[in-house]
Every structure is written in C-alpha cells, then in structure tokens.
Structure 1
Amino acid sequence: MKYDFKAVEAKWQKVWEDEHTFHAEIDKSKPKFYALVEFPYPSAAGLHVGHPRSYTALDIVARKKRQCGYNVLYPMGWDAFGLPTENYALKNHINPEIVTAKNVARFKAQLKSLGLSFDWDREINTTDPDYYKWTQWIFLQLYKKGLAYKKETTVNYCTGCKVVLANEEVVNGVCERCGSPVVHKVKSQWMLKITAYADRLIDDLDGLDYIERVSTQQKNWIGRSHGAEINFDTTAGDTLTVYTTRADTLFGCTYMVVSPEHAFIKKWVEAGLIKNVDEIKAYQAEAARKSDFERTELNKEKTGVCIDGVQAINPVNGKVVPIFISDYVLATYGTGAIMAVPAHDTRDWEFATKFGLPIIEVVKGNEPSNLSEAAFTDVATGTLVNSGFLDGLSVEDAKEKMYAWLEENHKGCKKVNFKLRDWVFSRQRYWGEPIPMVYCEKCGWQPLPESELPLRLPEIKDFEPGPDGESPLARHTEWVNTTCPCCGGPAKRETDTMPQWAGSSWYFLRYCDPHNDKELASKEALEYWSPVDWYNGGMEHTTLHLLYSRFWHKFLYDIGVVPSKEPYNKRTSHGMILGLNPHAFENLPDAERKQLLAEFGSEKAVRAHLVEKYGEMAEHPIVKMSKSLGNVVNPDDVVNEYGADTLRLYEMFIGDFEKAAPWNTSSIKGCKRFLERIWGLGDKIVEGEGYRPALEATVHRTIKKVGEDIDALKANTAIAQLMIYVNALYDNGGATRAELEVLLQLLNPFAPHMTEEMWQQLGHIDQLAYHPWPSYDEAKCVEQTIEIAVQVNGKVKARIQVAADIEQADAIAQAKAEPAVQEALAGKTIVKEIYVKGKLVNLAAKG
C-alpha cells in the first residue's frame, strides 16, 4: 500500500489538536522538562526552511522526554511588536495590528503543518494588552528600584528606520534590521541600568550548561577588565579622568586623547581657552557622521586635532602633555578620555608616529627594542624601565605598586570597568509597548499607577515618525495630555515606546501561566516550571535577547518574583540553512553560463564580470537565504510535495546542528525514499517473537545510539543509525513485530505522523507520543556472533559465524572444519596459522 502522506499528516494533526495531546499541566508526580525555542517575529513573508531546523530539533528532544516519563512544557508564541511590521504598515497604509493578526495566522498554520508538539493552549502574543500589561509592570518595578532612568545621551540613530538603536542593534556601522547607516544624535532617552548587573551576568555563566561560543560571546560583550582610574590635572583647572588596564605604563604616557563629544571641549570653548575652535568644530562635525564601528576600526587611518590652549599634566612625573581630540575614542566607553602610551600600544604608536609625538619605552621585554616598528606593543610581561620607582619590577608587581601610589597621592584608584553600556530603551515609533510614565512640570516624571495598567496604544492612522524622528504618538494630543498621578495637575504621557526586546525579555515566564490576570505568573507555576531546562536559539541573539532576558530575570529574582537567579539552565544554538547563490558562476543556468563564456572568453573573466555586476557575494556559491536573492525556500512547498515528516527528517539529517548547512532539494528525495522503505516494512512482518538473534545486537545498539544522539542534538547521526537498522531488517527479509515496533518508537520524534499511523495499524490504542521509550541492554550492544573470512594461502575459501569473543585456537579449529577449507587443504601441509581477531583466519599451506 502506497504511503499517502497528505492524508496521514492531516489525520494526526487533527487528532493532536482535538485531543490536546501536548497540553501540559502541573503534575508533581513527574519530573518536569521545560523545552523552549525562540518565538518568531511573524513577518509577512512567513516561515522559510531555516525556521523549522531549530523548532524540529527541540521538538525531537521534547517528544523523547515525554516518552521517558517527563512532564514536558514546549510552548510557542509571537514576538509581534517591532519595526518590520510598522514599516510594512507604513508602506502599505494599513494598521500594524491588522498586519500582525494576519501574519500570526499564517505562521501558526505553517507551524502546525510541521507536526511540532507545541502546547498551543499556552500561546502568547507580545502585542496583546493582557500580555504587555505585565511588560509595563516590570518596567515600573525597574523604575522604582532606580534601574530605569531618563537622560540626555548620544545615541545611535538609524537613518532608514528613523529610530534610536541600542548598541547591540548596530552591526558594522549599520542597522541590524534594515542595513541603513547609523549616525550619532543627542536625545533624551529612557535607559535601563543593565550595567548594575554586569558582574553577575558574567559570573553566573559559570554554573550554566551553555555552549562555549555563547558564553564566550556574552563575556566578551560585557567586557570586564581590571585596572585603574587615573586623574590628570589640566592647565584649564579641570581634571581629566582616564581608565586603563596598564597603570604600570603611566611613565610612558606622552599625550592624551579625548572623544570629540567630551563635555570639557564645550566648556573650554565657552571659556575662551581653545585657540583653534574652528578646526575643533569641523572635526567634531566630521566625527558625528561616523558610526562607532567606523570610528574604532583598527585598520583605518588615525586622525585627530591637537587642542591649542589646554594641556594635561602627567600625575606621576609632572610632565606637560598635549591633548588631542580623535574619533577613535568614544564618549560612551570608559571616561571618554585615554592616556596614550605609544611604545606599548599599536593604535597609540600609529597616532604618535603620524603626529610626531614622543615614544618612550617603559617595559623591557625579552626581544631587542625596535620602537620604529612598535616591537613592544601590548607587552604584558617583562621588566619596567624609565619608570622611576617602578624600575626593575615585573608588570604585575608594577601595577600593584602604581595602584598604591595613586591612592596614597589621591591621583586615582583601582577600578573594574566594563564595555557594556546601559540599555537604550526608547523607540520613537508607534508599534511598541507604551512606556507607562507621565511628565508633570511640577512633579517631574511620574510612574502610572499599577491599577491603570495596561496603558493601551491609541488607535491612530498616521504612523510616520516626525521630521526630527519624534514618535508619531506625539501628534495625538488627546492621548498625550493627561493628569499627573501625583498632584492631579496637567501632565503629558511619554510618547516613546519600548523596543521589541521588551516583550521577549520575559516571555518564557508567561508561558508558565499565560492566562493569569492577577500577576505575570503564579508562584506555584513559576516554582514548578522554572527555570527553562533547555533553550535553543540563534547566535545573533546572544548579545541582544539572551543578555537582556538574563538581566530582567535576575532583577525579578531580586524582587522575589521568580525562584531562580538564571532563566535558562542550558543554551544551544543552531547553524543557519544556506541557499544557492543565483549570481554565482557555479549556479548559473547552463545556457546563461555558455553565453557568458562565449562573450567574455574565460571562466575567470565571467567571474570578474559577475562580481562587478552583483558585488563580492557573487564569488560565493552558497549564501544566506534572502528574498533579495530569490533563494528562499518556502516550507509549505516542501510539505506539499514531500510531506512534513520528510522535511523534518531532512532538516535534521542535513548536517551538524551547530553549523551552517546548504539546502539541497535533490537530497530531500533520499529522505522521502527512506520513509517509504519504513512504510513498506508494514507489509513485510515476519514470524517470530521479540528480536531475532541475528539482529539483537543491532537493535540494542540502535536504541542506545539514537537515545544518546537525541540528548546530544546529534540528530544527523541518530538518523544514520536508523538507516543502518532499516537496511539490516531488509537484509533479513523484513521485521518481526517487536523489531518494527522499536523502529517506530525510535523514529517517532523525527517522523511523528507516519509512525503514529503505523503504530495504530499494528493494533495499538495508545499514541506513541506517550508510549515508554524502549530500553536497551548494554551487554547486548556487543555482537554475540561475528562473521570472519577463512583464507587458504591468502584466498578466501569460506566465511563463518563465530562467537565475538572466540579464542584463536577455537577460531582456527572452526575454520579447518569448513568443507570448502578442507577441500583446499587436501594433500597440503599447513606451515602457518594466523588469526586476526574479529576479521579472518589465514592458513598457509605447501604441497
């Protein structure tokens, strides 16, 4: 009987929905397992085949855990606020709420078609007022604890989205969403003090089961370093404070650099102390047009302007040093000022060389000095020289002595510093959670009373930001104008909204109790389900969502809302699915390739033409899927042609889960044929009870390997072992009922529709979804018998079955007993007997 995957998959998806098969409730009689995947942003484009890779991988884990007796929570919802929907709404003149509802419906239908075992009774949506009521509530708690504040600050401004971005949303100088250039502006913004948790965000990683690249990326982004703050007096009477990890090199400081935005520059200009004001202002204007990435890029040419009129004084030796402004120093990092030690820092050396500044070696390393090539750049070991009271000390001893000197002389102190900046939390757009704050001229900023939550978005029709990037809500005075919750006088609502990351910073908690209208989740639900046992998501969210949500969770732990200090016990990350690049030479249609070869004369010339026409990406045959390249594969098409089980199997078999893998439609057919072979075993059930002796070891090895590989997210090797098992069944004429049942049990997490159908055809009433996972006997994983070759004078004369642990003498004796061997030895004398364990017996004979 041919396998009708469309009928079977429709049948079982309806059964699961009607029977709420995967619904989870608190059950303290079972161990709990909370599996979580990052909920998607429901865009108009719908899912592409990259999405199911993550969802299916953890679905396989969740399904196995259920069969192993765990009470599994595997939820799904929608991260639906944010710029893409608002931009789409602007372009098409439609309300973002309507767009969101349509997109969610499409995504949900697609996910259901894949047979994913989500508990849809717990579905959440960040744009639902009943949900964002609690996002606003969390913000108010942050405000009350001094962790949410408003300040004038230099911000990243996306010229395309016309919105302020957090540092984490700027990638290589452009907006991570739209790719437009990012410039600096000074704006009043709501900030969240994530830096207050910087130490804990690093230290608490050590007790978690995170893959190394995730932990490393978070630690590097937070960027904890140990050093000192040093105070430099200036001829203007002000004190410039710098942070350095190399206080031992203070004697080697020959100049200072401040950021173009440093507050002292404005002060010194207004005081008439700076003589080259026009030159300074021109440089400031030029720097403002650059992104942080452009300014700090190591290989760029060093530029700057020396401040004429104000100098600094090196506190350790009293020497006067010039002060420059340069764009490679950022106002948002450290103190916005640095001491430059050009003998021991590449960047400082390049700057000093360009401007003819002194270079003084203060650390003698193990190699001869060659300061013209900055041989001592970043010397971390060696002996101090030219450094007064530090001479002769090691670097570490010199640091400690300098820390003591700075404190004794009131010139500085030891300091721990972080690269992490506070989180810019304002967005000047409509489609986001309203910030529940009002401003009163008399009382200042006041929080909205919790009884008035949720503060809902007003229904408006004009979503365009204002000419200076202000929120469209600012134009709607009927919503903006309100009363002060403190004095009752006139006040105005905050018109900025929260960033998309707000709703996703706590959504995993709402899944525990999604319909609670009294609190974000009940204490009982949080104590039972928390923390998440296994969370999988993209590496691109490591320094965004993952960092933000850990911060929010730690705060909620501190105020007694959640029972654990960390939200996720385990974090894994998947590689993306790649597509063929239609502009690469290798992927051009044959006719087009021939035409171009004829036109340009050689493959090299054609490749050069393609790069000129399409950019450097044309050199890469396999690239990220994108609509602009037209290489996105819609999972709906794959499901329609091959079935959901085939798609699931292929997504898992495509390669190492943590690494990127190219999509190859022709390879899907192999997975479909494999499932059809398994379906065919239903017509090839042979007589026999249990596992046949010839297959017993294979069965036990397969149970062991598939189970272990699922737990290790090695689905590709688990599937390979299932293929070995299926081949063995066919080699032995089919499967006994027991052999087929164990195959269906092991395959069920990968191909749930077909296996449930075959399970039912075998007469079972219960669903495989909760049928106990098969067990194996470790001793039986080893072959009891093996096949070895028997050779006479190097030529194979027979193959025999022997005990796997057979001794040499017994193997040789059994070989000699074979009729074909006796015939080959007739009239000959054996001169040598060789046994290669587990492989062969060779008998050398003469005569």
Structure 2
Amino acid sequence: MRTAATSRPRGGPRGERFDPASYEARWRERWEADELYRARDDDAERDKHYVLTMYPYPSGDLHIGHWYAATGPDIVARHRRMRGLNVMFPMGFDSFGLPAENAAIDRGVDPATWTAANLDRMRTQFRSMGCMFDWSREVVTSDPAYYRWTQWLFVQFFRAGLAYRAKAPVDWCPKDQVVLAREQVEGADRHCWRCGTQVEKRDLEQWFFRITNYADELLDFSAIDWPEPIRLMQTNWIGRSEGAEIVFPLDAPDIAPIRVFTTRPDTIFGATFMVLAPEHPLVERLTDAAQRADVEAYVAQARRSTEIDRLSAERERTGVFIGAHAVNPMTQERIPIWIADYVLPGYGTGAIMAVPAHDARDHAFATRYDLPIRHVVVPPSGELPADRAFVEHGADEVLVDSGEFSGMPGPAAIEAITRQLAENGMGARAVTYRLRDWLVSRQRYWGAPIPIVYCDEHGPQPVPEEQLPVLLPPDVDFAPTGVSPLQSHAEFLAGSCPVCHGPARRETDTMDTFVDSSWYYLRYCSPRDARQAWDPDQVAAWMPVDIYTGGAEHAVLHLMYARFFVKALRDMGLVAFDEPFLALRNQGQILGADHHRMSKSRGNVQNPDDLTSRYGADAVRLFLMFIGPWDQGGPWSSTGIDGIHRFLARVWAVADPRSAGTAGPLGGDGAQAADSVGGQAGRALRRATHVAIRDVGDDYAAFRFNTAVSKLMELTNAIGRAREAGHAGSTAYEAAADALLLLLAPIAPHISEELWARRGRPYSIHQQAWPEFDARLAAADTIELPVQVDGKLRDRLVVTPDTPAEEIERMALASPRVQTYLRGRPPLRVVQIAGKLINIVAPGE
C-alpha cells in the first residue's frame, strides 16, 4: 500500500475548472491500488465495526435504486471509519436464482456464463459509485467455493435434527408438467407465467428446516436495535397464540378424534359445527359416499386459491358438508363436520370448532348455510347485536347457557373450562404458532444441490464432508421437460451410500436461495478459507454485524431466516452469539417515474450510468441522499440534480486554493492573510464550522442524509460569504474549508479527495480523523428567549448565552409588555428553561 505524504495522483489537472470527469476515475484507481478500504484483521489498535448492506442479485445492470440502497451505508461506514473504528464493509452477490435458469431455457445461455457476464458488469458499475467496499472479501453464492459450505451447513442441520423430509404442496403447471416457483404463478386466477395454464397444487416430498423450534426465541428482540415495523411484522408472522387444544370425538370409533386449537375455550358451549381445512388428512376418511363428489370438487377448487384469497374479509364464505359428525365434549351434542377454505391447513391443527355467535367468519358461514347460532358470552348490559357476531372480548363479559359455568366472568371461565377439559382427558393448555417450518427444497437447477443420497437399505444419508461440494453438472438439457434437468443427468444421479458404499440415488432438489443469504455475513469474515466455512477467530472478532441495511420487504424471509441460522448454529457450538445483526436500518424504495417499483418489464428502470458520465458520481450520490429521508424513498425524477452539480461547483470555488484566491496551503503564500479576519466575522465563520461539525456528524450517525446535505450547503455558503468579503486564506477560512471537505468526504468522496490534495493535505482524506467539535466555538454570540405570561408569548429577550438566570429574570420582569399583564404586582413564580424560554406566572385577580 502506498503511503505518500501528499496526496495528488500523478498527471492530475492543476486548473481551477470544476470537472468531475478529470479526477473521479483516477482517485478510484488509486484507492483500489492502495487497498485503502481493506479491513485489517490484525488491527489491534482500533475497535472493530462491521457495516453490511444486503448483497444484490446479479441481474446485469445496477439501477438507481441500487445506488440509493448502497450510498447510505457507505456514508455511515466512511463516517465511522473517520471516527476511529476499524470498519469492514464488504460486498458480494446473491448469484443463484431463477432468472439465470430462465435465461438458459429461453435463450440457450448456460446459467453460469450468463451470471458471470452480469457479475463483471455489476462490479464495474459498483466501483463507479466510489463506495468503500472491501472487494477482497467478495463472496459469490454460485461459486463452488461458497456453496460447498452451504452444503456443509445443510449437513450440520441434518445431523442436528433440524433438516427433515416431508410431503408438502407445490404449484404445478399441468401443461408444461413442471413445478413453479412462487414468482412464476401470476394473476388472481393463478396461471403459469410461461403458458397461461391454470396452476394446480401437487404434494411432493420436500426438505424443511425446523425454524419452529426457535419460534419463541425469535419473538425476543431485546438484544437488537431494529425498526418497530420489522419487529411487528416478524411477531405477526410467527403468530404466537395461547389457548387450549380440545378433543372432539367422532362418530367413527376407528378414527382418532379431531383436535382443535382455540384461544376462546370459554365459547365451547356455543360450538354448533366443526370446519376442517379442505387439505386436512381426515377429510378423505370421514367423507360420506353421498358427499364425495362435491367434497372432491371443492377440495380441488380450494387448492387453486392463495392463502390471501382464502382469508379475504370481502370473500363470500363457502363450504361443503362431508356427511360426518363429531361430539362437543362439553355439551355431548352431535355436531356436523364441514370443510371450508377459510380454514388453513398450516394454522393450528387445520380444524376449528365453529362458534358462529362469537366469530365473524363462522357467523357468515352459519348464516349462509342455516346452521345454529348460539350466544354463550354476553356483555354486562346483556344486549347482543342482531345481525352479526358478538366478538368484543372484555374482562367484564359473562357466560350464559354454559352449564355450570353460566354467570362466570369470561377470563375466569377460560381457566375453569380448560382445567375441566384437562381433568376429563379432553383438552389441555396449548400454544400454537402461525409460523411453519421453512421449506428449503426447490425443483430447479441453478441452486446449491442438497447434499443427500438415497440408499434402498439405509434411506436418506448426508454426503460425506470430504466429498463436498456436490457440483452442478454443466452439461444439462434445459428443455422444459417438466422436471429438473438434474433428474435426467445419469452421472449426477449416480451416488454411493456412505454407510454401505452401495449404489445410491442423489437428491435432485436444490436449496432455496435464502439458505445462501442466511449465512453469507459469516463468510465475509474469512472468505478465502478453504478448510472451513469460516475462521472461528475471525468470526469472534468481527461478528455480530454492527449495522445492517436493506429493504423492509425482507422482514419475514431473509431477516428471520438469518436470525434462525445464528441461533441454530449457536446451539451446535459453531458460533458464540445470539443475533446476526445488532442494528438494522431500512432504506425506502426508489420508484419509477410512474410511481411503480422499478423493473425491466415495466420499462421504468433508471440507469445511473448516463447521469454519472454527465454529472459525476458524487453529484448522483448527493442528489439521491438529498431527495428526502433515506428510510422513505419516493418516485424517481432527475429534476434538481443540476442544483447539486452547482453546489459541488461552489465547494470547488471555496476550497480549491486557486479558485478561492489563495496561493496554497497555510504556511505558504496564504499565511499573509492568516489573521486578516477576526472579531465578529471570524467568530461567525468559526461558529458555522463547528455547528456543521456537530450537526452533520449527528445526521450521518442517524441516517439523516438529506438534512446533512442541507447543513453542508449552509457551511459552504458561509465560507463563500467570507471569500467574497476578502477573507480567503485566513486562519478561520482555511480551517472552515478543511472542515467542509472532511464533512463532505463520506457523501462525496471524490471531490473531497481531489480538493484535499490541491490544498496540500496528507493522503488520504479518507484516512483522516473526523474533525473535533468545540461547543464553545459553536455557541451563538446571542440567543433569543421567548417570554411568556401564564403560558402565552408576550415578549422576547436577546441575551448572551452566559447571562446569569437572575439577570434574565430581572430583564423579563422589567419588560413593559410583561408589566402590562402584571400591573405592578409581584409574580407568583418565574420558571426558566435554560436557553429556551421564561414563563411568568401572574397572581390571580
């Protein structure tokens, strides 16, 4: 690494014209050659700080949204480095996924070739941003050197009992005879994206991770600083509910009873029918022959609907009686069993006791099919709604028509009824979750192969670790035959059982790409380690991630899966911490000019390359950060970027020695003006400088980049006024110009480096310390204090900040405007909030 004392690259322009194209690329080349942003594992003097932004999918081109997402954390990483931290800020690519496989099918391009070309393009574009990414730590998830360890992790989960195989429904195109990913099912009618055929549900054996083992721990956010909306989304997704599991015996003695979960066991006396999810395993066994045709047709229809459609409040409730009955364990009443699509197989037990008097969906269903509606809980007034369910649940409600429990308050009845059910062997307290185990199988080619072989004698067995990675074969046929190309690749299929060494068939499913992103932050700590997934010492040194940024759309997928991974790895003894990301910040979304999300299919993608070539990377970075709060985003418009360009030209004018009218750095010809500004003008410039040091630093730390830009503009204007007044070259002026560049460096790294070099300062500005804030110099010469009488503004005082409280009180009471309301009477009391206001309490009449 070069460590020249002065900073200008050779051959740079010495003229005064502001031209970003003349210096931006040169500085990026030097920074990379000098490994300026390489995080040092052996830096014992500085505290570590791991800043990470979510890595992108290599779609081929960065759009303006990528710039927006990456610039914010880059500013924070640079700022924290200047504050004395050893910052690691890596970048990589989430390079497995469906688009590459679709390119292979549609254009005959090998996925690896397509991905490699996109990676090269995006690396170049990322570098043009000037971000301080440590490219020496790059990870690419489709690289066998990476997915070897993804497979190794699968094996660890398998051995720990956290990976298992079970049947699960998938979306199936009957025309193409192929399993579809969620993204390939389109429209309200759920049709195939390629041929338009309506999609069906099929049950296939698939692999799962037991994320539900960690449901309660995932609800604990006490150790992390995450936005409340993300915590709420994860909480709702996990969906923890406390209640009771109740047993409903069946007429058929040879079939196990139906178990239901309810949060309202106090309403069991009002259960007048039961509803099973159409997919419930008992439906086929319980359905009467006379009802079978109707039931099968309804089941097929339900399986074509999405969960969102099935749960929609606007949707009419439909169902079919299956011709069987159950027994209410508290009333001994025989009640009919129906199927209805508003009951989902994945929540609770996939069966409910229907209480139409106290559940809106059950009420709508009972009303449509003329089923009994029996109120068993009433408010204190005894008044019940005539045409809807009584669902209000308060501590003062009481039970009616509920046997021995009638007259009992609702909360007490929940406890008493649950206890009696348990004593009778018909129920027990229970907790259930909306969260389901994570289905990680994908019937695709372009993903990490699941490292399992199937032996006729020993069943599924993990591939031995020394045989990893299980490589994707390059010579596959991507013709849409209806199955993964791996299923027709004889060489890939041929494996051996690690137990008996006999022939075994290799698993052809690949892993969900969210598995790759559930651990990539660990690999950044030692990305070239060929012996292990990560170096434990480096992970102990760098992890957890101190600040993580990305889109809120990942709240219940990537972000929750990564938390699950760390907790599982901790329990396996592979890491020694509980959470992957200590703090999380979400950027808003930059929409297209049409106010829709940017996408190639909409034709609303804004490529930043044209803007960069015209205005420079710094202008694009500043403009993006100035359009509004970073966590809100908004529709894209390039209107206003000319103003940012003019602002940078003003920075150039006030900070470049020749443009500013000084001959060079202090200690040279500029020293003659070192003390030419003093008094009020000097104090004003020093105050503006130190106010900016304080406020811009606070804004960067809090991700308030738009207000930081405003304060940089204010400081630039203050320096410009001093220049126009002939003070360029003075001590205050030079200190202000240096401070401006240091404050600007995180958000506009190129112009800051160029002007720092022109001013003769040591290389590099990005290795300098953040300027020290002096509260004394930032203090105003005078402050204005509102004076209130009985809470209403009556006057204002202008005082110096160090004016004693006694003097302020004397001045306030002497005010003629205040005396108008006191009328010569002494006040009851005078309240001062230092530096803010005075409130005088007048005596009563």
Structure 1 length-normalised TM: 0.85
1:43 alignment counterpart: 59
Query: Within 5 A, what are the aligned runs for 1:447-466?
Result: 447-466=462-481
Is 1:141 aligned to residue 131 of structure 2?
Answer: no
1:225 alignment counterpart: 241
Shift of residue 487 of structure 1?
Answer: 1.0
1:555 alignment partner, SS class: helix
- CA contact 2:275–2:354 (8 Å) conserved in 1: yes
Aligned partner of 1:388 among 403, 412, 425: 403
Is 1:657 aligned to residue 630 of structure 2?
Answer: yes
Is 1:704 aligned to residue 694 of structure 2?
Answer: yes
Give deviations 1:649-695, integer Å, cap 9, x for gaps: 01111101111322221211111111111001122266336992122
Shift of residue 287 of structure 1?
Answer: 1.4
Label 1:802 to 1:761 Cα distance change in 2 as closer, same or farther (>3 A). farther
Matches of 2:98 and 2:782, distance apart in 1? 64
Letter in 2 for 1:286: Q
1:730 alignment counterpart: 720
Label 1:760 to 1:518 Cα distance change in 2 as closer, same or farther (>3 A). same
- CA contact 1:439–1:492 (8 Å) conserved in 2: yes
Matches of 1:299 and 1:513, distance apart in 2? 52
1:554 alignment counterpart: 567
1:241 alignment counterpart: 259
Label 1:199 to 1:405 Cα distance change in 2 as closer, same or farther (>3 A). same
Give deviations 1:566-615, integer Å, cap 9, x for gaps: 1010111111012222xxxxxxxxxxxxxxxxxxxxxxxxxxxxxxxxxx
Give deviations 1:362-388, integer Å, cap 9, x for gaps: 211256534432251253442222222
1:459 alignment partner, SS class: coil
Matches of 1:230 and 1:168, distance apart in 2? 40
Letter in 2 for 1:106: R
Shift of residue 123 of structure 1?
Answer: 0.6
1:640 alignment counterpart: 613
1:485 alignment counterpart: 498
Shift of residue 167 of structure 1?
Answer: 11
Matches of 2:32 and 2:21, distance apart in 1? 17
2:574 alignment partner, SS class: coil
Matches of 1:345 and 1:168, distance apart in 2? 35
- CA contact 1:259–1:330 (8 Å) conserved in 2: yes
Aligned partner of 1:262 among 280, 305, 315: 280
Shift of residue 803 of structure 1?
Answer: 4.3
Is 1:508 aligned to residue 521 of structure 2?
Answer: yes
Label 1:264 to 1:161 Cα distance change in 2 as closer, same or farther (>3 A). closer
Letter in 1 for 2:520: Y
Matches of 1:580 and 1:767, distance apart in 2? 38
Letter in 2 for 1:43: S
Query: Within 5 A, what are the aligned runs for 1:643-792?
Result: 643-681=616-654, 682=656, 683-684=659-660, 687-688=673-674, 692-733=682-723, 736-785=733-782
1:624 alignment partner, SS class: coil
Matches of 1:164 and 1:61, distance apart in 2? 40
Matches of 1:140 and 1:366, distance apart in 2? 59
Matches of 1:567 and 1:506, distance apart in 2? 9
Query: Within 5 A, what are the aligned runs for 1:316-715?
Result: 316-366=330-380, 369-381=383-395, 382-467=397-482, 470-581=483-594, 622-681=595-654, 682=656, 683-684=659-660, 687-688=673-674, 692-715=682-705
Matches of 2:29 and 2:212, distance apart in 1? 49
Matches of 1:629 and 1:261, distance apart in 2? 37
1:599 alignment counterpart: none
Shift of residue 629 of structure 1?
Answer: 3.1
1:198 alignment counterpart: 215
- CA contact 2:476–2:485 (8 Å) conserved in 1: no
Letter in 2 for 1:732: A
Label 1:262 to 1:74 Cα distance change in 2 as closer, same or farther (>3 A). same
- CA contact 1:684–1:733 (8 Å) conserved in 2: yes
Matches of 1:498 and 1:14, distance apart in 2? 38
2:64 alignment partner, SS class: coil
Shift of residue 191 of structure 1?
Answer: 1.0
- CA contact 1:42–1:79 (8 Å) conserved in 2: yes
Taking only aligned residues, the RMSD between alpha carbons, in angstroms, comes to 2.8
Label 1:312 to 1:208 Cα distance change in 2 as closer, same or farther (>3 A). same
Letter in 1 for 2:497: C
Matches of 2:135 and 2:306, distance apart in 1? 43
Shift of residue 393 of structure 1?
Answer: 2.5
Aligned partner of 1:18 among 33, 48, 54: 33
Shift of residue 396 of structure 1?
Answer: 1.9
Matches of 2:381 and 2:479, distance apart in 1? 62
1:33 alignment partner, SS class: strand
Matches of 1:552 and 1:787, distance apart in 2? 56
Q: Which moved more, 1:558-567 or 1:801-810?
A: 801-810
1:77 alignment partner, SS class: coil
Shift of residue 240 of structure 1?
Answer: 0.5
Label 1:663 to 1:445 Cα distance change in 2 as closer, same or farther (>3 A). same
Matches of 1:90 and 1:372, distance apart in 2? 60
Shift of residue 540 of structure 1?
Answer: 1.1
2:592 alignment partner, SS class: strand
Shift of residue 699 of structure 1?
Answer: 1.3
Letter in 1 for 2:363: W
Give deviations 1:713-744, integer Å, cap 9, x for gaps: 00101111111111122222255111100000
Shift of residue 524 of structure 1?
Answer: 0.8
Matches of 1:244 and 1:176, distance apart in 2? 37
Shift of residue 176 of structure 1?
Answer: 13
Label 1:107 to 1:375 Cα distance change in 2 as closer, same or farther (>3 A). same
* Structure 2 residue ranges without an equivalent (≥5): 1-15, 663-672, 786-796, 809-833, 837-845
2:245 alignment partner, SS class: strand
Query: Within 5 A, what are the aligned runs for 1:798-817?
Result: 803=800
Structure 2 length-normalised TM: 0.85
- CA contact 2:286–2:322 (8 Å) conserved in 1: no
Shift of residue 786 of structure 1?
Answer: 6.7
Letter in 1 for 2:337: I
- CA contact 1:225–1:416 (8 Å) conserved in 2: yes
Shift of residue 331 of structure 1?
Answer: 1.6
- CA contact 1:157–1:165 (8 Å) conserved in 2: no
1:207 alignment counterpart: 223
Label 1:251 to 1:98 Cα distance change in 2 as closer, same or farther (>3 A). same
Letter in 2 for 1:249: T
Give deviations 1:485-505, integer Å, cap 9, x for gaps: 111222100011111112111
Matches of 1:773 and 1:40, distance apart in 2? 31
- CA contact 1:363–1:379 (8 Å) conserved in 2: no
Matches of 1:24 and 1:299, distance apart in 2? 55
Q: Which moved more, 1:323-332 or 1:170-179?
A: 170-179
Percent identical among aligned pairs is 42
- CA contact 2:473–2:492 (8 Å) conserved in 1: yes
- CA contact 1:251–1:316 (8 Å) conserved in 2: yes
Matches of 1:291 and 1:464, distance apart in 2? 29
- CA contact 2:212–2:435 (8 Å) conserved in 1: yes
Label 1:94 to 1:166 Cα distance change in 2 as closer, same or farther (>3 A). closer
Matches of 2:526 and 2:121, distance apart in 1? 25
Matches of 1:694 and 1:176, distance apart in 2? 67
Letter in 1 for 2:639: S
Label 1:350 to 1:802 Cα distance change in 2 as closer, same or farther (>3 A). closer
* Structure 1 residue ranges without an equivalent (≥5): 582-621, 789-799, 812-836, 840-847
Aligned length: 756
